[in-house]
């Protein structure tokens, strides 16, 4: 009578190590993807806040009776490390005087010596001192 080995159910050590390697790689990939996703959500929240600040500055400028060419700057109240600026100037392509170009820029903290532009809005508006006086009571 020959002695036979009865096959046993189970995995070899090599199979277990390969399975652990595959599982570890998959988990690491998922963690890195989740981390990148969270970073993108934070960036979008910053961009949304910057756009909202730019809209506020633009609305304040557009509500004025008259516009004067120049540049104004200020900090963003909710984010002191951010700065907004509004540039008001005559529209260079205008056929008539009184057409102004308004551009609002919100910059974040500097990166490599350059400010990071978070938002930019631009529009044009007609502004004439004579029309502004007629509107006043």
Four-point Cα dihedral 109, 115, 118, 124, nearest 10: 140
Mean pLDDT of all residues belonging to the chain: 86
d(CA 28, CA 17): 16
- Please report which helix (H) or strand (E) contains residue 87, including its range: strand 79-90
Q: Exposed (0-12), middle (13-18) or buried (19+): which is 99, by Cβ within 10 Å?
A: middle
- Please report which helix (H) or strand (E) contains residue 126, including its range: strand 114-126
Q: pLDDT for 62-98, tens place per residue? A: 998 888 889 999 999 989 899 999 999 887 776 666 7
- Residue 128: the pLDDT is 66
What is the residue extent of each domain of the chain?
Answer: 13-135
Q: pTM of the predicted model, to two decimals?
A: 0.67
Q: pLDDT for 90-115, tens place per residue? A: 877 766 667 888 999 999 988 888 88
| Residue 124 tokens, joined | 């044009």
Angle at 116 between CA 112 and CA 121, to 5 degrees: 160
Query: Residues, the chain, total?
Result: 137
User: What is the CATH architecture of 13-135?
Assistant: 2-Layer Sandwich (3.30)
Four-point Cα dihedral 25, 29, 34, 39, nearest 10: 130
- Residue 71: the pLDDT is 95
Bridge partners of 37, per DSSP, are: none
């Amino acid at each position: 009578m020959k002695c036979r080995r009865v096959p046993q159910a189970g995995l070899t050590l090599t199979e277990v190590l390969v399975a652990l390697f595959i599982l570890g790689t998959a988990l690491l990939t998922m963690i890195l993807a989740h981390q990148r996703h969270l970073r993108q959500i934070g960036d979008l929240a910053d961009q949304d806040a910057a756009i909202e600040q730019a809209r506020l500055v633009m609305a304040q400028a557009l509500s004025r009776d008259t516009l004067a060419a120049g540049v104004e700057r200020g900090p963003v109240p909710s984010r002191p490390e951010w700065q907004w600026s509004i540039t008001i100037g005559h529209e260079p392509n205008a056929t008539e005087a009184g057409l102004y170009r308004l551009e609002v820029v919100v910059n974040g903290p500097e990166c490599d010596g350059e400010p990071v532009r978070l938002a930019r809005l631009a529009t044009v508006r007609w502004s004439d001192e004579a029309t502004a006086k007629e509107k006043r009571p």
